[in-house]
Amino acid sequence: MKKAFTLSEALVTLAIIAVLLAILIPVIDNVRPDKDKVYYKKALYDMQNAVANAMDSTVYSVAANSAAYWADDNVGESDFCKSIADALNTSGEVDCTGPSSYSHPNFITTDGIRFWGLEGKIFNLEEGTRTREIYVDRPISESEFRTVASKRGRSEEGLKIRISYDGKIDTGSSDEDNYDYENDLIEDTESLQATKTQE
C-alpha cells in the first residue's frame, strides 16, 4: 500500500518553501544589476571619450586651438552634436536639428542608449553659458515608465550629464539642478573626477 503525505506534512513543506522564498527573493533582487546604473555609467564613459575625440580632431585644433571653439560664432549650431555622434557607434538616423526628446533623440547608440539635448548653440562664453546639460536614457517600456519615474524623482527628463565648454564631463553637485539621483548611480563622484584628471 502506498504511503501518502499527511495534511500536516504538506503544510510544513509549504511553510518551509515560503520561508526560503522570502529569504531568496530580496537576495536575488540585490544581485541583479540596476539598469539605470549600468546604462548611465556607460553613457558617461562614452561621452568622455566622444568629447575628447571631438576636441582632439584636426578640425578643432586648426580652427581655434582652445576649448572655446565650440562657442565660436563660426561654428554651426549642429557641429557639436555631429562631432559627438561621429565619435560614437550610432544606430539609425542622427538628427541634430532638434528639438530633441526621449521619443525623438539626437541619436541612439548601438547599445540602445538615447542621447538628446545636443542640438543648438552649446556654449556662449559672452553670455556665461559655460556648461550644458544633455540627457541620456535606456530603452524603457511603457509598463516600466511609472516605476522608473518614481525611483528617479522626476517624470519626463532622462538621466543628466553636464558638459563643460573645456571638455569636462560630470554630474554636477547634488545641490545643483537636482543631480542627486545621478550622483547616487555613480556612488563616488570624486573617483570619476580623479579618472578624468589623470587622462
pLDDT tens, position by position, 99-131: 999 989 999 999 899 999 998 877 777 777 788
By 3-state DSSP, what share of the chain in percent is helix, strand and coil, each rounded to 5? Answer: 50, 10, 40
**What is the pLDDT, as a whole number, of residue 182?**
87
| Strand ranges inside 30-130, DSSP E | 107-108, 114-116
Going by their DSSP bridges, the two strands 169-170 and 159-164 should be labelled as antiparallel
pTM (2 d.p.): 0.73
Q: Tell me if 113 sits within 8 A of 42, measured CB to CB.
A: yes
Give the pLDDT of the chain (199 residues) as one tens digit per residue. Answer: 567 778 888 889 999 999 888 888 777 666 666 788 889 999 999 988 888 887 776 454 444 445 566 777 777 778 888 888 988 989 889 999 879 999 899 999 998 999 999 988 777 777 777 888 899 999 888 888 888 888 888 777 789 998 887 778 888 765 666 788 888 888 754 444 444 444 4
CA 181 – CA 174 distance, rounded (Å): 8
Task: Return the domain boundaries, the chain.
Answer: 36-198
